[in-house]
Amino acid sequence: MRFAIGDTDFLLDGEPHRVLSGAIHYFRVHPDLWQDRIRKAKLMGLNTIETYVAWNAHAPSRGAFSFDGGLDLGRFLDLVAAEGMHAIVRPGPYICAEWSNGGLPYWLFTDGTVGVRRNEPGFLAAVRGYLEQLAPVLVPRQIDQGGPIVLVQVENEYGAYGSDPSYLRELEQMHRDIGLTVPFTSVDQPMGTMLEDGSLPSLHKTGSFGSRSVERLARLRQAQPTGPLMCSEFWDGWFDSWGEHHHTTPASASAADLDDLLAAGGSVNIYMFHGGTNFGFTNGANDKGVYRPISTSYDYDAPLDEAGRPTEKFHAFRSVIERYAPVPPLPAAMQPGGSGRLDVAVDAGREARPAPVADVAVRLDRAASLGSLLPALTDWSAHDEPPTFDALGAASGFVLYRTEVDLPSGGVLTVGTEVRDRAVVSVDGVVVGVLEREHHDRAITLPPVTGTLELLVEDQGRVDYGPRIGEPKGLIGAVAVDGVPLARWTASPLALDPIAPAALSVLAATEPTDGDVLAGPAFAAGSFDLAAPGDRYLSLDGFRKGVAWVNGFCLGRYWSRGPQKTLAVPGPVLRAGRNEVVVLELHASASRTVCLLVEPDLGHTEA
């Protein structure tokens, strides 16, 4: 088959074709659930699945590249093809996506000489190596070779970042050099000169917007007089940041804008069809003067919620789509009021009939201080001054810094430039305060102490948008007390994603204790039984801030400031019989009981 760009339409084997696509990021969904999410997109009336490719997920360290497990992009695309659907792939190299560092590997910038998103030899050489790794996955899966891929996007909203056609030409040629032959696209907001700045005449321009469709398409047509109109990011919701409200968009308003777009003859990629979750430490952040880390949930108020269940928006969009294209029959499980669960693993035509489930309370009866588990979590190194995460080879998570001090009268601790992003400060094992990037904190008073000073620093998410992409993490600048720099540091990343097996063994061997409170930083663990696995939501009511795991799988960060109050636990992570939950609480908890809930709680909305 052939896919091409005509004067007015996309052409599939020479015939006009409308792209009806939905975004599913394979790296935000448990791989055992990919088929379920893809099939539900088809049931809404979509004919295409779009995904970014997260370079930093595939290449966590220099010289490493993986397509294993949840990163098996080839398998994901094959599942798309098995449903008779097409695929749009957006390799970046920059993707934004509210993902850590916008998808760019942290190690790319450790020596300070490599450029960011520009025509610079070091950056382009790394990108070429990345694309060469993708070639065996993408090239044979193009539509003209019998695969599902019909479009590939070059860069991502570049017009909002820069205007360098030489850079874009180099990227385009690299994509061609690895053997990609399908049409190439660009995407930008139809505002100002972004469409022109972020593209080339050889790239088909598409728009990104979520409202005022007629007006946005008119601006797109002005920038590109011929060719099919396409909104390749139709924003049907929005992401959440810690400390803000849970964003929602009325289904009726989004459906009306989608109707306007399709009535104008446009093609669409719904962003997101299914958002998923920022498991582990993968969330990004924004910094436009104030640092704002993205929440763990990436529900996005999408047509398919974080657990893969159809929402009001699913049915509203499906009703719009069926005015313009045929849609398949909707199984009873996907009808309003249905379970929303399809038994795709057993029989594609048969609906699951899950047994009734109930919330499960779990007492975390085993507790151990962070300090007691450090031998299982650390690999110390010595430094004259605090190293960055990047210098230590830590992409994300936590680094513990230590030095010995002699302060008989106390003093004021200062960090020279910035804390990136949050530091719990302790002296001789007693927490004295917190330094937060979000509050621009750089100083804290220390009590009299002769002993060990510790700073437990958390990377809360690398900036994914704007000029601060690629910046290092940790304690930036000299650390001093009363103006005198502190020397002779030891530092270590904490092995938390995945959590070190030795640490889990220590927790498993810890004797249960009574009590309802937890003094952090500390780990707590508990066991629970399930008759059968299924999607659940971990509620940590009474806990303040930290990280949670179930059966060794890192669910991600929790924070009492919200908005989200539960962490998604994918059904494939759970098992029939005995299961284990572990929590790292950084501060203190008024409870040592957590709950596995049947329903999520993503927090308060603006209304």
| DSSP per-residue letters across 137-157 | HHGGGBGGGTSSEEEEE-SSS
In this structure, what token pair is assigned to residue 485?
């720099």
Q: Tell me which DSSP letter residue 4 carries.
A: E
For residue 168, the model assigns a pLDDT of 98
Among the options 50, 83, 155, 233, which is catalytic?
A: 233
Report yes or no: 129 and 494 within 8 Å, Cβ to Cβ: no
Q: Is-contact 592 236, C-beta < 8 A?
A: no
Q: Which of 50, 83, 98, 157 is catalytic?
A: 157
Q: How many CB atoms lie within 10 A of CB 417?
A: 10
Spatial contact of 415 and 479, defined as CB atoms under 8 Å apart: yes
Strands 522-530 and 411-415, by their bridges, are unpaired
List Cβ neighbours of 266 (8 Å cut-off, separation of 6 or more).
213, 217, 228, 229, 230, 231
Q: Which residues of 260-281 are buried (b: 16+ CB within 10 A; e: fewer)?
A: bbbeeebbbbbbbbbbbbbbbb
- Strand 411-415 to strand 553-559: parallel, antiparallel, or no bridges (unpaired)? unpaired
- Per-10-residue mean pLDDT of the chain, 607 residues long, equals 97 98 98 98 98 98 96 98 98 98 97 95 98 98 98 98 97 98 98 98 98 98 98 98 97 98 98 98 97 98 96 98 97 89 51 65 98 98 98 97 97 98 97 98 97 98 97 97 97 97 96 94 98 95 98 98 98 97 98 96 91
Q: Is the peptide bond before 93 cis (omega within 30 degrees of 0)?
A: yes
Helices and strands of the chain, counted as H and E runs: 11, 37
Cα–Cα distance measured from residue 536 to residue 527, given in angstroms and rounded to the nearest whole number: 15
Domain coordinates in residue numbering, the chain: 3-334, 360-368+498-597, 379-493
What would the DSSP string read from start to end of 356-388? P---EEEE--EEEEHHHHHHHH---EEESSPPP
User: For residue 183, what are the CA distances in angstroms to 10, 154, 171, 267, 429?
Assistant: 10, 10, 14, 15, 59
Alpha-carbon torsion (395, 396, 397, 398), positive or negative: positive
pLDDT value at residue 137:
98
Q: 605: number of CA atoms within 13 Å, CB side?
A: 10
pLDDT of 356 = 57
User: Could you say which DSSP state residue 80 is in?
Assistant: H
Residue 540 CA: distances (Å) to CA of 389, 527, 582: 28, 15, 11
379-493 adopts what CATH topology? Jelly Rolls (2.60.120)
The strand ranges marked E within 189-323 are: 204-209, 230-235, 267-274, 284-287, 291-293
* Assigned superfamily of 3-334: Glycosidases (3.20.20.80)
Q: Torsion angle, CA of 437/438/442/444, rounded to 10 degrees?
A: -110
Residue 436's DSSP bridge partners are 422
Dist. CA 59–CA 126, nearest whole Å: 11
Residue that the structure tokens 């940790």 belong to: 474
Neighbouring residues of 603: CB distance < 8 A, sequence distance ≥ 6: 240, 245, 246, 562, 563, 564, 565
User: By C-alpha distance, which of 277, 206, 335 is closest to 538?
Assistant: 277
**Which of 416, 463, 465, 420 lies closest to 438 in space, CA to CA?**
420
pTM recorded for the entire structure: 0.96
* Inter-residue contact 567 to 296 (CB < 8 Å): yes
Of 41, 44, 51, whose CA–CA distance to 83 is shortest? 41
- Rounded Cα–Cα distance for residues 393 and 63 (Å): 13
Q: So what's the pLDDT on residue 346?
A: 35
**d(C-alpha 217, C-alpha 11), whole Å:** 20
Residue 244: active-site member: no
| CATH code given to domain 360-368+498-597 | 2.60.120.260
Tokens, residue 180: 């990609």
DSSP string, 236-274: SS---BTTSPBP---HHHHHHHHHHHHHTT-EEEEEEEE
Do the two domains 360-368+498-597 and 379-493 of this chain adopt the same fold?
yes
- CA distances to 365, 528, 532, 533 from 577, rounded to whole Å, are 18, 8, 7, 9
Q: Give me 595's structure tokens.
A: 């709950």
Is 157 annotated in the active site? yes
**Beta strands, E only, 83-183:** 86-90, 149-153
> Using one digit for the tens of pLDDT, what is the confidence trace for 40-78?
999 999 999 999 999 999 999 999 999 999 999 999 999
How many Å apart are CA 434 and CA 456, to the nearest integer?
Answer: 9
